[in-house]
Structure 1
Amino acid sequence: MALLHKFKISGGQVTYKSRFLGSDCYQANNEHSRIVVSEFGTVAMPDPCKNFFQRFLSRFEMPSESRPEPSDNDNVSFVTYKGDYYVSTETNFMHRIDPETLEAKEKVDWSKFIAVNGATAHPHNDPDGTTYNMGNSYTAKGATYNIIRVPPTKNSPEDTLEGATVLCSIPSVDKTKPSYYHSFAMSENYVVFIEQPIKMDLLKIVTGKMRGKGISDGVYWDPKRDTFFHLINKQTGKLSSVHYLTKALSTFHQINAFEQDGMLVMDMCASDDGQAINNYMVQNLRQSGEALDEVYNTMSRVFPRRFVLPLNVDHNTPIGKNLNTRPDSTATAIRISKEKVFCSYEELHDEELHKYGGLEFPQINYAKYNTHPYRYFYGCGFRHLVGDTLIKMDLKDKSMKVWEQPGLYPSEPIFVPSPDSTEEDDGVILSVVITPNKDKSTFLLVLDAKSFKELARADVPVNIPYGFHGTFNNTA
């Protein structure tokens, strides 16, 4: 269940507050003292108090429109729309949150505003507050991927997603098996949708309840398919006629994207294996000793990569020639046919990163450097099933700085710029660190972003579970 956390730093003191999200999902599960709403990896089992025949029939009970009701358990990320804070997951439901009390003010349904069946928990913001996101639509004609645009301001205090529009719709190549995506990339003028070969079998997902299977049973990896980068112009909503592709890869989080010298440079955390989601099945997390080592040793590794996409491709562009003219990049972009450009990546790290199991949960100085050329990014190293180090990467020479302590597991690093900062890494890194082998010893860690040295920690005398994504709200 979604558990919201808040650290407040004021006057040299740190206070902590947490609250379970009062979702319909939470209320129903709490009322029955068991899981009654299906989630991504968990199927709601029939009521054990029913007799055998009743339990059998309950598997075939379906909500309206013959599809499972999506969960409103918004446990992935805090996001902002029109200056308001929401918590979200990947269904069509979000909750608007009071950032002071962490109380849910209202449940908001994307499908009441635009024709989508959900949206990602990783929107992007333009400097003026305009927000972009992605969501799927499922109709009798098949699945489509939709680029969503939400205006920056509200017309009234009660305004939520009013004015949201679908900027562009992209049909799935396989109408009944669209690609799964967790996020997308955005430069100054383009949204980049990464269509990867992690596929969703819609028939399996819709029939999951009667088969006693969770949504994850309908998600699979198809390594024989290529990965496509779809470029959508943010001003016109037009999809580029050039098909940029690369070999099969999986990506959950992008680092940054920017345009320079006629190229779109796109950095992401990626793997050549799309099985990462299986690492977190309960049967794996319950392992210990050699069995846990085997799970870890067979995990797919995620590393930072750079792709360079040429923007000015026309009928005069030569075929078979590397179009990446950036002297500082080893990535390639080769036009292989009239409308296709095949791309290979440049590694954004050296061999040292392999010692830390790769890098995920990337963060940058978003406010000043998102969609612009940048030098630094931060993330978690994964030598275990969860992050066990904090890492600062320097793109200038691909060097890195590391914070680590045995037995401590930090969360996603949040960059907070210093007031009136002039340098990209002038600020601090915030991370929640858990200590599973010691009771009630969680703390908020503060690192100097430049040196990556510890500045302070604020101990929290409660147990906090390992989480996903957060944000910093500067109210000073």
Structure 2
Amino acid sequence: MDSKYHQDEKVGYNQYFVEKKDLKYLPPYLLDVPETREEVICTTTGTWPTWLAGQFIRVGIGRVVIPLSEDGSKPDAVLQHFFDGLNLLHKFRMEDGKVFYRSRYTAEGVVRRAKKEGRLTSIMTGLDANTPLYRAQDPCSALLGTNQSLYLEDGKYEPDEVNINVVPRRGIHLPQPQGTRGVDSPETEELLIGTDFNMLQVCDAKTLEPKRLLTHAVIDPELKGVGICAHPPKDRKRGQTFNYLINQETGVMYVFGLDIRAKPAALMWKTALPCAPCYIHSLAMTERYVIFIRNPIHMDVSDMSKGLQETWLYEPDVPTQFFVLEKDTGKHIATYSAPSFMFFHSVNAYDYVDADTGATNVHVDLCSYEGGYIPYREYSFSNVIDPARPFKDGTLVRYELASVDHALATISRPGRATVAAAIPGVPSELPRIAKSASMMPGYRYVYFTAGNGGMSPGTQVPIGRFGNGLKTVHGAFFGSLAKSDWLSGTYKRWQPGNGESCPCEPVFIGRPGATEEDDGVVLTIVINREGTQSILVALDGQTFEEIARADMPHVYALGPHGTFIEA
């Protein structure tokens, strides 16, 4: 192992190719798992609320070993990063206190193409999965790397030939190919799966079958480009979403607004930003404004043989910038700067009138990371097996943008973003709130994963077996969940017991008719002590204690995000 071992002293993570024979050292929720195409009823314990009616949709990695030939004549490709596993789409249907489950692979076309071409051409965040073939590769083909797949043409790929595995959400009315007709109610009949590049996958909401791939340029030719954040904020009252893209030819970065109530969805406005292109994973939004937060990270695509994680470059001594745009017009009205930090997930934002000044202020809540280090590089399988140090954690921070409606923060003279509040003492990532709390001043509660690499007492799930026992500081990928309260500045943790481990992103669903913000349930998934089966767990949103669970038919392959679609 020494010859292939590499530890980057500067960024503090281990990076080497994990061969197929060494995958046994990864936890089972990061390995290949089966699909369940036909719906099954889950065995439940506790009391599932009868009011909980709808579909809980999650995406996850389902396959990391990819065959490169039909007859096994070539060695398999082995994906090397948490983000790279081929997508498995999960659906839990809930009604009358019962839980039903089904799942489906949605990137089987990637496997078909790999077998046909003898090489995996999917976008890869980590090291090239084709490494076992490096001696047999055509040099020209090898030099093209994975980033060529960032530039995808509409109509070139079958519905399952691109691995899109980050965020599921409701369908919307989309333009249809000439001579075809879409479904009457895409909000209930279709799902959209998104990621951090300009591509959407449309899946059947009932069967989960992939139906179509398209870029935003299908909605409007003005939306041709790269970029796109995986979390476009959605204004449910207005029926609008907001996102960004980068013009490939000019390098100009834009924010745009979409009318998703229109049939089909339509571009409302597109506004150029006066800053260099960057990588961001989410935007923020208030009742009146869209806030684009420029991470001090850009992508260097000069060496096309790199995996995506190596193209992310931190910009030292560059402030983090907040660009405020009006929702109605797209007009860029103000810019703010803060000492350099990084973020991936925004939590919530709201605007309000300051009682002392009479001006409109904006609060933006984020999971903030200290600048200079890109945490997602830690999620390479080599660093999960052999961690160089404890995983980097974010902190829940509230940034204040003062007087956005006054000339005090002009575009040419940026204002200063200040820290108005924080929840110290608990790591925070994958944050979720009640839908009713979106853009609401004075909202209180945030649910989130409380740190990567936390201990899981009693678990038998293998992880970190290459470590020496001193630097192997974790017994699970995710350690626990937490619920924080902005009003009191406190938090409460929840950690699975009985040797269960790795609770995933918590999703809050409010009880119909609730008058309290946290009156509802929180859904998460854990793996059992032996690592042989996963369990859907419901927590009471107020007490943050377990009230019910449903057994899945197999292990849930870990994925970052999910959504609940009410019946």
TM-score range, shorter chain: 0.7 to 0.9
Aligned twin of 1:100: 206
Deviation at 1:146, TM superposition (A): 2.6
Q: How does 1:165-176 map to 2 (within 5 A)?
A: 165-173=268-276
Secondary structure in structure 1 of the residue aligned to 2:138: helix
- C-alpha separation in 1, matches of 2:424 and 2:141: 54
CA contact (8 A) 2:227 2:279 kept: no
Which residue in 2 is equivalent to 1:434? 527
Judging changes above 3 Å, is the alpha-carbon distance between structure 1 residues 26 and 472 closer, same or farther for their aligned structure 2 residues? farther
**How far does residue 407 in structure 1 lie from its aligned partner after superposition?**
4.3
Query: Is residue 279–residue 295 contact of structure 1 (8 Å, CA) maintained in 2?
Result: no
Equivalence for 1:226: 319
| Equivalent in 512, 523, 538 of residue 419 of structure 1 | 512
Conserved? CA contact 2:350–2:364, under 8 Å:
yes
Asked if the contact 1:79–1:121 (Cα under 8 Å) also holds between the matched residues in 2, the reply is no
C-alpha separation in 2, matches of 1:9 and 1:65: 41
Partner residue in 2 for 1:370: 438
- What residue is the counterpart of 2:250 in the other structure? 141
- The one-letter amino acid paired with 1:295 is R
**Structure 2 residues not aligned, in runs of 5+:** 1-85, 154-160, 173-186, 354-359, 454-475
Is residue 2:165 matched to residue 1:75? Answer: yes
Counterparts of 1:379 and 1:63, CA distance in 2 = 32
Partner of 2:236: 127
* SS of residue in 2 equivalent to 1:245: strand
CA distance in 2, matches of 1:219, 1:236: 32
Task: Indicate yes or no: 2:372 matched with 1:278.
Answer: no
Secondary structure, counterpart of 1:408 in structure 2: coil
Paired residues, what number? 424
> Distance between the aligned counterparts of 1:66 and 1:465, measured in 2?
24
Q: Against the structure 1 CA distance between its residues 253 and 390, is the aligned structure 2 distance closer, same or farther, given a 3 Å change threshold?
A: same
Residue 85 of structure 1 aligns with which residue? 191
What amino acid sits opposite 2:494 in the alignment? W
CA distance in 1, matches of 2:421, 2:477: 23
> Which residue, 439, 445, 448 being the options, matches 1:379?
448
- 1:450 maps to 542
What's the offset of the Cα at 1:338? Answer: 7.2
Distance 1:402 1:47, change over 3 A: closer
In structure 2, how many angstroms separate the alpha carbons of the residues matched to 1:38 and 1:417?
36
1:153 to partner: Cα distance:
3.6
Q: 1:85 to 1:383 in 2, by over 3 A?
A: closer
CA deviation after TM superposition for structure 1 residue 119, in Å = 2.1
Higher relative contact order (CA 8 A, sep 6+): 2
CA contact (8 A) 1:123 1:131 kept: no
Structure 1 residue aligned with 2:37: none
- C-alpha RMSD of matched pairs (Å): 2.8
Deviation at 1:137, TM superposition (A): 2.2
Deviations 1:168-197 (A, max 9, x none): 221433xxxx21100010001111000111
Tell me which amino acid in the other structure corresponds to 1:189.
Answer: R
Aligned to 2:422: 348
What is the TM-score when the length of structure 2 is the normalising length? 0.69
Contact 1:85 1:97 in 2 (8 A): yes
* 2:446–2:483 CA contact under 8 A, matched in 1: yes
Whether the aligned pair in 1 keeps the contact of 2:256 and 2:267 (CA below 8 Å) is: no
Task: Give 1:39 shift.
Answer: 2.0
The answer on whether the counterparts of 1:376 and 1:394 sit within 8 Å (CA) in structure 2 is yes
- Contact kept, 8 Å, 2:290 with 2:326, in 1: the verdict is yes
Q: Could you list the per-position Cα deviations for residues 107-152 of structure 1 after superposition, in whole angstroms to 9, with x for gaps in the alignment?
A: 1222333223242221222233523232322343323133232331
* SS, match of residue 217 in structure 2: helix
Q: Deviations over 1:64-99 (max 9, x none)?
A: 999855883110010235324201111222111222
Aligned to 1:202: 301
Deviation at 1:433, TM superposition (A): 1.3
Note the alpha carbon deviations across 1:174-231, whole angstroms, 9 max, x for none: xxxx211000100011110001111212323xxx1xxx32122221112311110000
3-state SS in 1 of match to 2:290: strand
Using the alignment, how far apart are the partners of 2:149 and 2:102 within structure 1? 40
Question: Once the 2 structures are TM-superposed, how far is the Cα of residue 46 of structure 1 from its aligned partner?
Answer: 8.2
Native 8 Å contact 2:537 2:546 kept in 1: yes
* Alignment partners' CA distance in 1, 2:347 and 2:147: 39
Deviations along 1:330-377, one digit per CA (max 9) or x if unpaired, are xxxxx79972212231442243x2xxxx011111112x1211121111
